[in-house]
Amino acid sequence: MIWLHRILTFLVGFGAVWGVLFLVATTYGWEKIWQSTHGAADLGPVEFPGLSTRGTHNQVLICPDGICDDESRHRKSPVYGTDADTLKIAFIKSLESESGLTRVDDGKDPMRMRFVQRSRLLRFPDTIQVQFYKLGNNTHSTLALHGKSQIGGHDLGVNKTRADRWLNRLENLEQ
């Protein structure tokens, strides 16, 4: 019977610790906790030429041939049968249903956008950057997309799922 008492004591203590943590987090706010422990949610801009995600499990990289590290990308970017400006407009419109998404770049480069998206419950921040590319005489276009979780070494596929969802919304523009 002593083992049962030890198990119950452990479970009560474990539950109390998590209860206090949850109370503090909901009172103080997950976003403030993550900022105080991990810094600003926006991880800043990335440069796509030569970008690699080798050895990491909390990122996704989608890009056209020859722009990023082709071996570490999740998939090759589609070619779209429209100019880059129209692609960008359609991309922005496709994001209207995304929750917890905030644009964080300064808007100075019209072909680049950067976002922070937070998970619903624990408000984990991910930084997503998109760059649009003109192809040919701007009759076609493509894009590069990089997403990275700020917290943790593994994102359980969240960034890849998001990237696939975003690109699937643009399938009607593909060549």
**pLDDT for position 129:** 98
Please calculate the CA angle 88-96-138 and round it to the nearest 5 degrees.
10
Query: What's the average model confidence in pLDDT over 104-117?
Result: 96
Q: Is 13 exposed, middle or buried (0-12, 13-18, 19+ CB in 10 A)?
A: exposed
Place of tokens 């499990």: 57
105: left (phi over 0), alpha (psi -120 to 50) or beta: beta
- Which pLDDT score, from 0 to 100, does residue 25 have? 67
Q: What share of the chain is helix, strand, coil (3-state, %, to 5)?
A: 35, 25, 40
Tell the residue number behind the tokens 């993550």, with chain if given.
34
pTM (2 decimals)? 0.82
State residue 21's pLDDT score.
Answer: 67
Q: How confident is the model over 139-166, as pLDDT tens digits? A: 999 999 999 999 888 888 899 999 999 9
How many Cα atoms sit within 13 Å of 121 on the Cβ side? Answer: 1
Query: pLDDT by residue (tens digit) across 45-84?
Result: 999 999 998 888 899 999 999 999 888 999 999 999 999 9
Three-state SS at 133 = strand
Residue 8 has pLDDT above 80, yes or no: no
Is the pLDDT reported for residue 28 higher than 90?
Answer: no
| Class for the domain spanning 40-173 | alpha beta
